[in-house]
Amino acid sequence: MTTHKNLLGGPEPTYLPENEEAYRLLGEESQPPAEVAAKHPTFSLAWAMLADDAFEAGRVVESYAYARTGYHRGLDSLRRAGWKGHGPIPWDHRANRGFLRCLAALARAAGEIDEKDETERCWQFLKDSSAEAYTELKR
C-alpha cells in the first residue's frame, strides 16, 4: 500500500484493519454473508453484501436496515482507527470497501424510500470520503 503526503494539510487517510478470518469465511469457506455478519458483526462487507442482495431482490426496507447496520458498525471502526469525522477513506484499501459499500447501499435504499435528505447526505459523504468509490458505486 502506498501512502502519500497530504499537501493540503487535511487529515490523513484512514485505513481500517483487515479481518482475515471474515474474508476467509466468505471466500474459502463460502459461508453466506448472514453467517459471517453474525460471527463478525463489525465486518461491514458482510452487511454490504446483505444490503445488495436484499436490494436486488426488491426488499428495499431490508436493504436499508442492513446498510444502516454496516454503516454504523463501520463508523465505529473508523473512529477506533483514528478517523475524526472527515477525511479520506481510500477505496483501494480492501478493508475500507465494506464501509464505503454500506454507505452507497444506504444512499441507494434511502432514495427508494423517499429519504431525499439522507440520500443526498450519503452520496456526498461517499464522494467526500473517496471519489474513486463514488465513481465505482454510484450507478
**Cα distance between residue 69 and residue 42, in whole Å:** 9
Q: Which amino acid is at 25?
A: L
Instruction: Confirm whether 69 is domain-assigned.
Output: yes
- The percentage of the chain sitting over the pLDDT mark of 90, rounded to a whole number, equals 92
The pLDDT value recorded for residue 139 is: 76
d(Cα 24, Cα 116) in Å, to the nearest integer? 37
pTM: 0.92
Specify if 58 maps to a domain: yes
Domain-located, residue 23? no
- Enclosing domain of residue 120: 32-137
- Asked whether residue 13 is domain-assigned, the answer is no
* Confidence at 4, pLDDT banded by 50, 70, 90: low
Structural domain includes residue 68: yes
Residue 77 within any structural domain of the chain: yes
The total of structural domains in the chain comes to 1
- Mean of all residue pLDDT scores within the chain: 94
The per-residue pLDDT for 1 is 45
Q: Does residue 19 belong to any structural domain of this protein?
A: no
Quick one: which of 51, 45, 43 has its CA closest to 110?
51
Residue 25 lies in a domain: no
